[in-house]
């Protein structure tokens, strides 16, 4: 059985109410506190994870800054990645997603509730505008998630090259960078079936601005990728 179907069926009794509430938040997002909207999203995601027979091992949540703006950069394995991070990051965050995901029900509502941004990778001007918008939000004290590979790797736990441009949000806002190592997340939604599966989400030690100040975005990209690669090799 498809894992998404399993997630829904095992939580069927909460789906109508949770969906209605999420849609209300998305439609009138400015009328509700960010924390309230985010906790409802986490409630839905955590229920879905349990219902989908997904066992998540999470480490390093203490590395998420408790105040001020910050950037999360993770390797990208599949559609489950952003859901896994949103379900386990205790501070409200937004994300930069490819435009193709913007109109997918549920993801669309999450985007609206979290002030996330859809990026058109074929439109350089629009992409630069998204980077600038994220930078300004981080300066205001918010947290954002970006997948610097730009697209999901189809090589399991092997990463694609990191794009330096996505690190301009960090270099311009001078914020801490928290690398995230995702392991086996591709097995959740990108493989057939709904048998129990185990995944790992590791929030690594933050990289303060002082450590990467003066580095070019491409150099920061290599630094973050190396930290993530080291953790993946350590765990597998």
SS3 call for 90:
coil
Q: How many residues does the chain have?
A: 236
Euclidean distance between CA atoms 90 and 148, whole angstroms: 22
69-73, 150-154, 187-191, 194-198: which has the minimum mean pLDDT? 150-154
Residue range 193-217: mean pLDDT, rounded? 95
Do 213 and 159 meet the contact criterion of CB atoms below 8 Å apart?
A: no
Note the pLDDT of residue 1: 54
The model's pTM is 0.94
Which residues are registered as beta bridge partners of 72?
A: 145, 178
């Amino acid at each position: 059985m498809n894992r998404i179907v399993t997630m829904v069926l095992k939580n069927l009794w909460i789906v109508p109410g949770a969906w209605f509430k999420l849609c209300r938040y998305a439609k009138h997002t400015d009328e509700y506190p960010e924390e309230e909207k985010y906790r409802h999203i986490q409630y839905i995601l955590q229920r879905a994870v349990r219902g989908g027979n997904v066992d998540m091992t999470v480490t390093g949540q203490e590395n998420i800054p408790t105040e001020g703006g910050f950037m999360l950069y993770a390797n990208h394995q599949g559609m489950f990645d952003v859901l896994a991070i949103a379900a386990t990051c205790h501070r409200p965050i937004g994300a930069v997603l490819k435009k193709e995901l913007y109109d997918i029900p549920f993801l669309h509502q999450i985007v609206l509730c979290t002030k996330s941004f859809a990026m058109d990778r074929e439109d350089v001007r629009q992409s630069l505008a998204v980077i600038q918008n994220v930078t300004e939000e981080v300066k205001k004290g918010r947290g954002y998630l970006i997948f610097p590979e730009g697209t999901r790797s189809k090589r399991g736990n092997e990463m694609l090259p990191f794009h330096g441009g996505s690190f301009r949000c960090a270099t311009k806002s001078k914020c801490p960078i928290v690398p995230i190592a995702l392991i086996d997340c591709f097995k959740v939604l990108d493989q057939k079936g709904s048998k129990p599966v185990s995944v790992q989400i590791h929030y690594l030690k933050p990289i303060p601005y002082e450590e990467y100040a003066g580095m070019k975005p491409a150099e920061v990209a290599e630094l973050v990728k190396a930290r993530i690669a080291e953790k993946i090799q350590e765990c597998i």
